Structure 1
Amino acid sequence: MEEFLDWYLSENPIRAALLGADGYDRTLGDFSEAAYLARERAERDWLERLSAETPATPDDEIDRDLVVSHLRGALAEARWPEWRRDPAPYLGAIFGSMFTPFQQRLKPEAELVEAACARLGEVPGVLAACRKNLDPDLAAALLVRRGLDQARTARNFLTVTLPAEVADPGLRARLAEAAAPAADAFDELVGFLDGFEAHGTWRMGEELYSTLLREREMLGYGAAELHEKGLGAWDELDARMREVAARLGSGDWRAAMESLMDDHPPTPEAMREEYEAETKRARDFVAERGLVTFPEGEECLVQPSPEFQRPILAVASYLTPPPLTPSRTGVFFVPFTPAGFTEEQVRQRLRTNSRAQMPSISVHEAYPGHHWHLSWMAGNDRRARKIFRTPYFVEGWALYVEKLMQEQGYFDTPQTELAHLDCRIWRAARIVVDTALHCGDMSIEEAETFMTTKASLSPGTAAGEVSRYCAWPTQAPSYLTGGLEIERIRDDYDGDLRTFHDTIAGSGGLPLGLARKAVTG
């Protein structure tokens, strides 16, 4: 196992560095076709070797099964290779590796600049590999457009935003000088993607989708059953929301939500300030109720989303503390709009972050959601659990605690209760839409209409969300699917609530079958 983990980190140096492993912060890695194919062959060998092992302890068995589920998922996805279809693996690697170290500041500024300059020197080669590897017959136009929109932010990010993070004038100038050739390479990529004719599809198809649910997520069912679960959850939540809307004097919960969404912060910065205050309130509530044990030194910052993220992500997000370091500082990113958005587009973004919705979103992203879970989980001493996790647990946990906080009385008005249920029905709608999109049962236009009529998303946010589902199949259903599974594990747990939370969240971000084993044996 240790040999495999060392191999994995060496083959994925950006991920290794973002996890906090030493010695990986001066390279972007090898993005050539030969390297991708060699990694796939090695993964097959590792799967065979690890599957043949007999773990010595129950924890060793969970670690082994966690890694095996990852390898099975990676090999299944290799049949539909992202690196041939989508610019995202190349662009995400570059942006993440440049932005995150300055955000986390775990090393002296001079070392951060030295590492960034080394990586900037590799950017032209990575983007050349992107141009060479993209296959017109496999790449999808929608994915290429997403990459194009993101690539267009690169020059300003690399030459202006990134150097502005450096206080020392000499180091700042050095970083700006190193960024210039990388920015030129991005300009070349923008021209390439703008003229690229893509004839492939973003639809994953039911067979691969179901394989990932069974092999990687260990759920025991496929896309069709998951779709039905989403429809059933939506119906149940719809009935509950009509009851709450009636207490607000409305016979239509959508109309009630539309009214609530008109009460929002006036500007993006005001939105950030109000989220910061709500995050503190949520932490105080969790501490007073004794719902979890807080890790020593944890801190959750609330900041604007990075500019390179804004064209492709319309909702709040979270940056975890690097689990292979002692840091317990995470960042709750508030969804600012891209440069060039109209006044009306900004208003619509603010409406989907209304004051009634802020308590649920803050609970999800910060306390006791992502920030508490991932800062607490980082204390687990098993390296495999720090490196591999699934959104079906991580996002499932964040949705589980939204309901937990509702049970504890945190959403203490009909307005915040309705908004809490709206956040939940949005996740049910995600299950329906994601499965239907990738199984060929729904068009993009139908999906956007579903998200605006079956949840309370504005048209602009719905368009951004559906684009994300097209680009990231199986992720969108993870929220409610995982939340419901964690509730079932809690029902079978014999112990107090705080111990349950500390135990299951501290076990990692495991596939749900392994999480049950870690808690109940």
Structure 2
Amino acid sequence: MDEFLNWYFSDRPVVASTLGADGHDHTLGDFTASGWTAREREEARWLDRLAALRPSSLDDAIDRDLVLSQLRGSVALASWPEWRRSPSAYLSSIFTSMYTPFQQRLKPEPELVSAAILRLAEVPGVLAACRANLDPDLAAPLLVKRGLGQARTGRNFLTRTIPSMVEDEGLRARLAEAAEPAARAFDDLVAFLEGFECGGTWRMGEKLYSTLLHERELLGYGAAELHEKGKAAWAELDARMRGVAVGVNGTEDWRAAMESLMDDHPPTLEDMRAEYEAETRRAREFVKERDLMTFADGEECLVLPSAEYTRPILSVAHYLSPPPLHSSRTGIFFVPYTPDGFTPEQVRQRLRTNCRAQMPSIAVHEAYPGHHWHLSYMAGNPRAVRKVFRTPYFSEGWALYVEKLLHEQGYFDTPATELAHLDCRIFRAARIVVDTALHCEDMSIEEAETFMSTKASLSPGTAEGEVNRYCAWPTQAPSYLTGAIEIDRIRESFQGSQKDFHDRIAGSGGLPLGLAEQAALA
């Protein structure tokens, strides 16, 4: 397993350094066509080699099966090569490699700047590979447009945003100077993508979608059954919300009730951030008072504006975990700021979908005892491979599971916050329905946007951003409610206290749910 991880880190240096592994922060890696195809061959070789192992303990077996699930997913996705279909395969690595080190600050500033300058020198080559590798017959216009939105932030991000994170004036000037050739490469990519004509599809298809659910997520069902589970969950939640809505606006119309609640929102983006910060502190104290789980030593959750480069493609709150291979236990809850070019009305709509009734659920999900508690706590697991690989079907499932847990504990103590809690859950049920239908060719983008804005309380603009994300990231959107339901099922079979269950299943990693069940119930 150590040998496999050494190969994995050397092949993916940006991933390695983000995880906190030393020795990989000087390069972006190989993004040429030959580099991608060599990676695919090595993954197939590792799959055969590790599948032949016979582990001597349950923990070793879980480690092996965790890696096998990841490799089987990668091998299946070789038929759906992102590196030929989407600019994001290149852009995300560049943005992450530049932003995360300065945000995490695991090393002295001079070392961070030196590493960033080395990586900046590789940016023109990576973007040239992007232009060379995109296949007009495979790339979808939607994915290219999404990548174009990211690419347009590149110049300002490299020449202004990243240097502004450097405190020393001389180092800041060095970094800004080194960023200029990379910024010109981004200008060239923008021009290229603006003129790039393509005719591929973003729809994955039911066969590959179901293969990923079985082989990578280790679920016992495929896309069609998952779709039906989403519809059933939506109907059950709809009935519950009708009853709660009576306490909000006197009727069973929960959409109208949510619309009225959304008008009570912070007045500005910075006010939104400040109120999320206060709610995050409240959630932490609530969890500690009730002794629901064990906290990692030294953990801290910062609440910050979302990074500039994520704003064109992420319209919801999100989280950056502590680097699990490092001693730091500081994570970041990113509040969803809008791109600079948004109109006042677009900003208002973003604020409405982060209204005060919704803030408790979102803070619980992103921070305590959701993502931040889980990922800061599981970083203490001694098994390295558990820190490297995790699936959203557990990590997002956990964050939604604990929303329900805190509802059971009385955290959402008004009709407004209870309705907003259920609205967050029915939103995830709608995601299951829409994601499976989109990629199995049963729903158009327009139908999906209408579904998300009428079956969940999203504004049309936020619904558009959400559906765009589902098109670009198949199988991720259903992970939230699917995982939460499975974790609830496992909890029913656990013999022990609630706190012991939480510590054991979440401390075991972010495992595919079949493996998480083995770890919890062993």
Name the TM-score class by shorter chain. over 0.9
Partner of 1:160: 160
Superposed CA RMSD in Å reads 0.4
Partner of 1:497: 498
Partner of 1:476: 477
> Structure 1: any 5+ residue segments left out of the alignment?
none
Give the secondary-structure state (helix, strand or coil) at the position aligned to 1:332.
strand
Give the secondary-structure state (helix, strand or coil) at the position aligned to 2:398.
helix
What do residues 356-402 of structure 1 show as CA deviations (whole Å, max 9, x unaligned)?
A: 00000000000000000000000000011000000000000000000
Q: 1:389 is matched by which residue type in structure 2?
A: R
Give the secondary-structure state (helix, strand or coil) at the position aligned to 1:72.
helix
Partner of 1:68: 68
Q: Tell me the distance in 1 between the aligned counterparts of 2:387 and 2:296.
A: 15
What do residues 472-516 of structure 1 show as CA deviations (whole Å, max 9, x unaligned)?
A: 000000000000000000000000011110100000000000000
State which drifts further: 38-47 or 355-364. Answer: 38-47
Partner of 1:361: 362
Q: 1:343 is matched by which residue type in structure 2?
A: P
Q: Tell me the distance in 1 between the aligned counterparts of 2:414 and 2:40.
A: 52
Q: 2:283 is matched by which residue type in structure 1?
A: A
**Counterpart check, 1:262 vs 2:263:** yes
**Counterpart check, 1:403 vs 2:404:** yes
Q: Tell me the distance in 1 between the aligned counterparts of 2:149 and 2:53.
A: 46
Give the secondary-structure state (helix, strand or coil) at the position aligned to 2:112.
helix
**1:251 to partner: Cα distance:** 2.4
Q: Tell me the distance in 1 between the aligned counterparts of 2:511 and 2:73.
A: 14
Q: Tell me the distance in 1 between the aligned counterparts of 2:200 and 2:74.
A: 21
Q: Tell me the distance in 1 between the aligned counterparts of 2:142 and 2:340.
A: 21
**1:329 to partner: Cα distance:** 0.0
Matches within 5 A, 1:276-355: 276-355=277-356
Partner of 1:109: 109
Give the secondary-structure state (helix, strand or coil) at the position aligned to 2:360.
helix
Q: Tell me the distance in 2 between the aligned counterparts of 1:41 and 1:251.
A: 56
What do residues 450-471 of structure 1 show as CA deviations (whole Å, max 9, x unaligned)?
A: 0000000001100000000000
Q: 2:111 is matched by which residue type in structure 1?
A: E
Give the secondary-structure state (helix, strand or coil) at the position aligned to 2:308.
coil
Q: 1:131 is matched by which residue type in structure 2?
A: R
Give the secondary-structure state (helix, strand or coil) at the position aligned to 1:308.
helix
Q: Tell me the distance in 2 between the aligned counterparts of 1:64 and 1:294.
A: 28
Q: 1:203 is matched by which residue type in structure 2?
A: R
Q: 1:166 is matched by which residue type in structure 2?
A: V
What do residues 407-447 of structure 1 show as CA deviations (whole Å, max 9, x unaligned)?
A: 00000000000000000000000000000000000000000
**1:89 to partner: Cα distance:** 1.0
Partner of 2:488: 487
What do residues 176-205 of structure 1 show as CA deviations (whole Å, max 9, x unaligned)?
A: 000000000000000000000010000000
Q: Tell me the distance in 2 between the aligned counterparts of 1:475 and 1:139.
A: 20
Q: Tell me the distance in 1 between the aligned counterparts of 2:32 and 2:57.
A: 39
Partner of 1:10: 10
Q: Tell me the distance in 1 between the aligned counterparts of 2:155 and 2:44.
A: 39
Partner of 1:253: 254
Q: 2:477 is matched by which residue type in structure 1?
A: A
> Structure 2: any 5+ residue segments left out of the alignment?
none
Q: Tell me the distance in 2 between the aligned counterparts of 1:101 and 1:178.
A: 17
Partner of 1:56: 56
Q: Tell me the distance in 1 between the aligned counterparts of 2:465 and 2:521.
A: 39
Give the secondary-structure state (helix, strand or coil) at the position aligned to 2:301.
strand
Q: Tell me the distance in 2 between the aligned counterparts of 1:332 and 1:247.
A: 31
Partner of 2:129: 129
Paired residues in the alignment total: 521
Partner of 2:209: 209
Q: 1:510 is matched by which residue type in structure 2?
A: L
Q: Tell me the distance in 2 between the aligned counterparts of 1:506 and 1:241.
A: 33
**1:246 to partner: Cα distance:** 1.3
**1:330 to partner: Cα distance:** 0.2
